[in-house]
Amino acid sequence: MLAGTAFATDRPAKDTQAEDSPPVPVCDALTLYGSAVNSGLCKRLSTSELWVCELTQNNPDIHMTFNKEFGLHLTVRLPKRSCEGKSELTGNWNERDGHTLKLAKGQLPKACEVNLQNYAARLNATTRLNGAGGYSACMTAFQTARSRDRISGQEESFYIDLCKQNNCP
């Protein structure tokens, strides 16, 4: 590990989120994933127990991760895990409250020389797809991504099921 960097695991401890920095709501994060994959910002989605959106496919590996138990965070990894760091996100990403994602209080602004604040700004600049055809914005984002061949049918089903399970608008 390089000096001055933080080590992070794939599964952050629940208590890492500062009390005055609540986690990003699950539905906001899901809708962000769908919209980010449509815009091309998110290169690939996982369908595992940790919901991952790859932001880069090269070196460094930069991705967002969350699930119902762990809040949305940005992770950076260098080859051979010579450097690894993460920062939790807070704020909202919805029509009512706007796109207000930022690094949670006390989180690292940089990890492995990557400016995570720039990534939060890029996420906030992502265009949110609106609901269509009687479907929620969350579901529409993944349906649109599938129709554009940006995700597989399995990924579409997985994330639409998450939108339904969480009653996402």
Q: What amino acid is encoded at 107 in this protein?
A: Q
Residue 14 confidence (pLDDT): 40
User: Looking up tokens 């091309």, which residue turns up?
Assistant: 40
β partners of residue 61: 77
Residue 19 confidence (pLDDT): 56
Residues of the chain scoring pLDDT < 70: 1-19
Q: What is the reported pTM?
A: 0.86
| Among candidate residues 54, 46, 113, 44, the one with its CA nearest the CA of residue 85 | 113
Span 72-88, pLDDT tens digits: 999 999 998 899 999 99
Measured at the alpha carbon of residue 139, what is the angle toward residues 133 and 144, in degrees to the nearest 5?
Answer: 75
Residue 20 confidence (pLDDT): 72
User: Looking up tokens 């890029």, which residue turns up?
Assistant: 122
Residue 58 confidence (pLDDT): 87
Question: Helix, strand, coil proportions of the chain in percent (round to 5)?
Answer: 30, 20, 45
What DSSP designation does 54 have? E
Beta-carbon contacts of 136 under 8 Å, excluding residues fewer than 6 positions away, are 163, 168, 169
Quote the radius of gyration of the chain (alpha carbons, Å): 15
Q: Cβ(8)–Cβ(16) under 8 Å?
A: no
